[in-house]
Structure 1
Amino acid sequence: MTSNETLKNYRRIVLLTDGHSTPFLAKTAISLLRYRHEDIAAVLDTELAGKHAQEVFATGEGIPIVDSIIPGADSIFIGIAPPGGKLPGNWRPVLKQALERGIDIVSGLHEFLGDDAELRTLANASGSQLIDVRRNTEKTTATAAPFRDGCLRIHTVGHDCSVGKMVVTLEVERELLRRNHDAQFLATGQTGIMIAGDGVPIDCVVADFVNGSAEAFVRRNEQHDFLLIEGQGSISHPSFSAVTLGLLHGTAPHGLIFCYESGREKVKGLDDVPLLPTKRLIEAYELAASLRQPCKVIGIAMNGRRLSATEAATERECVSAEFGLPVCDVYRDGTAPLADAVERLRTEMYG
């Protein structure tokens, strides 16, 4: 488990996206701009210096894009999640300069910066930290012992990777908190951990311990009335289905929110593999989750970024009619229909 109060305490963050400021590669930066806006001092991209984050990322109003580390920065956050999770080679001079100045570096890459001898030597000399949020020592197997009665667990699942599961989870948490509920977001990926300062980097946990680490994470937070658990991967993804199933069984959710991107037809990263129909996937998720305890899909989150407002409205109506479930695009519509569904499930279960 990654539990580092330092992550929550940074207030002058520079997001490093240099040369990689695209929606596909810089999704970590985009999410941090959205959910830690007040803590972001600048984005560093030499090619785009002089612009503002809002122009490039459609979020981060008022945050400048710069070509060097700004004075007063307390941390550099690696803002990209590239295929393979490796550090771009031409970024080393910036990281070395940061460490020489005593600035901490936070990374969610699969390649651990703390294992780099040169960077580690510089960090030790200046007293700065190299924080790899994916690094973990999880060695817990699941027990299937019951969780606290009254702790309602909602888990986001998807038809593919990178469809917005983390955003939906965070937005539902926000809405429940707005309604004065005791709700808590549980991060299971590197970006969520950077936002929340706490979590389990589930895709870097040894396979035998995925279920157990997810179960233990829930148990450490079961004092809350609502747990909103971030989903990972997809149960049908040929590459990443293992973590998806581990989360389903480890967290034992009562309800699922199914997330999908309208218009996406192929599995991400496997262009020859078609996505399965939504009906089949919902059935598979309910069956797999219910092997641990009864569970059902209670709502659908539509990622309508490819659709016009009119097209999105038509899609919502059609999908809702087909499945008899509330459907919304959290960016366009907010999350009230999904929060309503969560409240209804709690009433069904606990009165």
Structure 2
Amino acid sequence: MAEVLRNYQRIIVFTEGQANSGFAKTAISLLRYRQEHVTAVLDSSVAGKRCQEVFGAGGETPICGSLDEIPPADALFIGIAPAGGKLPIEWRPAIAGCLRRGIDIVSGLHEFVSEDPEFAELAQRHDVRIIDIRKNGHSRVAGGVAFRRSNLRIHTVGQDCSVGKMVSAIEIDRELKRRGHDSSFVATGQTGIMIDGAGIPVDAVVADFISGAIESQVVAEQHHDFVLIEGQGSLAHPSFSGVTLGLLHGCAPQGLVMCYAPARKAVLGLPHAQLVPLIRLVELYERIASVRAAAKVIGIAINSHGLSESEAAHECVRVSESLQLPACDVYRDGAGVLVDAVLSYRDEILQ
């Protein structure tokens, strides 16, 4: 699957009716990290606009209202992560239309498009692929392997869901590479896999095998000096903490980067649930991660969405002083501060 996903050069991103819903984070990230491959977004609700105007990414990439308007394409990537991961009935005509036009479908939904009888028959008839990112056969339990000592594993963790764990991992990895270091990014969710072409869809792996799946992936990458492992969920999230814990023990990180959104007032999707204070979470993540191997939080990644420039700058100073850790917003400031922390930590633990 990795080479297939990486080889798509003419991608249509599908967000029909959901461009402004809060579910389009996959589309936004594809526009941010694969902009050169995205030829258009398909969404009749915002047709005629440009991606930068609607998504805050993608520049002048056009938004089309129908399949008749889209430029030539290799694949349609479903750019939405709706609650429950089900395929809305109103999306069916566009998917069927792409298959009839010989366009592959790439989906990160929990409901597998390839197992839909109508779509499977169309794919076979028109000799096109349907790739379900979350479809997997991982069935290995973790073995507690000993990783290469000089391989530094950095894992992004969070106060909540959707606070920038994937973006922070990608940006740290890219900044390390820009500085000439040997680094690798390990995707653990549908969006990261669509961007990188490979990874583990951990929220679709059987619970017993989550740690083993990510352990295997990190073992395969441990020849690099640095491995950045994308986080999922939060240890404090009432719904998704199981995946977070499986990842934490499976990748055995030495360093953790805590991600949070200061403008958020409650757990995402659960307005009655209070967010756990960062200082408590830093202690919690360090204690639980260290059950397998010594680990500590080395930096804070702030998602300052909803804050002004001055408010974001003030928050960076405040949280850095409060937790005595370096902090930055990788969207606004780049990942340099966090990469400095990673390099300093490597020197510390490899002495």
Fold conserved between structures, TM > 0.5: yes
Look up the match of 1:25.
23
Query: Are the equivalent residues in 1 in contact too, given 2:263–2:305 (CA < 8 A)?
Result: no
For the aligned residue pairs, the C-alpha RMSD in angstroms reads 0.9
Query: Are the equivalent residues in 1 in contact too, given 2:155–2:255 (CA < 8 A)?
Result: yes
Look up the match of 2:205.
205
1:223-278, Cα deviation, whole Å (9 max, x unpaired): 11000000000001111000101111000000000000012121111111101111
Q: Using the alignment, how far apart are the partners of 1:218 and 1:129 within structure 2?
A: 28
Query: What's the CA shift for 1:315?
Result: 1.2
Tell me which of 54, 76, 79 is aligned to 1:56: 54
Query: What's the CA shift for 1:307?
Result: 1.2
Look up the match of 1:193.
193
Tell me which of 4, 21, 29 is aligned to 1:6: 4
Look up the match of 2:145.
145
Look up the match of 2:321.
321
1:13-162 equivalent positions in 2, closer than 5 A: 13-22=11-20, 24-69=22-67, 70-162=70-162
Q: Using the alignment, how far apart are the partners of 2:24 and 2:240 within structure 1?
A: 20
Letter in 2 for 1:138: H
Tell me whether 309-318 or 226-235 shows the greater mean CA deviation: 309-318
Query: Are the equivalent residues in 1 in contact too, given 2:260–2:303 (CA < 8 A)?
Result: yes
1:69-119, Cα deviation, whole Å (9 max, x unpaired): 324211000010010111121111111111111110000001100110000
Q: Secondary structure at the match of 1:339?
A: helix
Runs of 4+ in 1 over 6 A off after TM superposition: none
Query: Are the equivalent residues in 2 in contact too, given 1:176–1:339 (CA < 8 A)?
Result: yes
Query: What's the CA shift for 1:185?
Result: 0.6
Query: Are the equivalent residues in 2 in contact too, given 1:34–1:60 (CA < 8 A)?
Result: yes
Look up the match of 1:184.
184
Query: What's the CA shift for 1:47?
Result: 2.0
1:113-158, Cα deviation, whole Å (9 max, x unpaired): 0110000000001110010000000000011010112110000000
Query: Are the equivalent residues in 1 in contact too, given 2:40–2:71 (CA < 8 A)?
Result: no
Which runs of 5 or more residues in structure 2 are unaligned? none
Look up the match of 2:258.
258
1:235-274 equivalent positions in 2, closer than 5 A: 235-274=235-274
Q: Using the alignment, how far apart are the partners of 1:176 and 1:270 within structure 2?
A: 36
Look up the match of 1:227.
227
Query: What's the CA shift for 1:49?
Result: 1.4
Q: Using the alignment, how far apart are the partners of 1:48 and 1:258 within structure 2?
A: 35
Which runs of 5 or more residues in structure 1 are unaligned? none
Q: Using the alignment, how far apart are the partners of 2:77 and 2:247 within structure 1?
A: 27
Letter in 1 for 2:273: V
Q: Using the alignment, how far apart are the partners of 1:11 and 1:22 within structure 2?
A: 26
Letter in 2 for 1:60: G
Q: Secondary structure at the match of 1:106?
A: strand
Q: Using the alignment, how far apart are the partners of 1:129 and 1:48 within structure 2?
A: 28
Q: Using the alignment, how far apart are the partners of 1:96 and 1:56 within structure 2?
A: 26
Q: Using the alignment, how far apart are the partners of 1:65 and 1:262 within structure 2?
A: 31
Aligned pair count? 349
Q: Using the alignment, how far apart are the partners of 2:24 and 2:4 within structure 1?
A: 23
What TM-score comes out, normalization by structure 2 length? 0.98
What TM-score comes out, normalization by structure 1 length? 0.98
Q: Using the alignment, how far apart are the partners of 1:77 and 1:42 within structure 2?
A: 11
Query: Are the equivalent residues in 2 in contact too, given 1:44–1:67 (CA < 8 A)?
Result: yes
Q: Secondary structure at the match of 1:319?
A: helix
Q: Secondary structure at the match of 2:76?
A: strand
Q: Using the alignment, how far apart are the partners of 1:65 and 1:113 within structure 2?
A: 24
Look up the match of 2:310.
310
Query: What's the CA shift for 1:300?
Result: 0.1
Q: Secondary structure at the match of 2:272?
A: strand
Query: Are the equivalent residues in 2 in contact too, given 1:23–1:57 (CA < 8 A)?
Result: no
Q: Using the alignment, how far apart are the partners of 1:219 and 1:47 within structure 2?
A: 44
Query: What's the CA shift for 1:23?
Result: 5.7
Q: Secondary structure at the match of 1:105?
A: strand
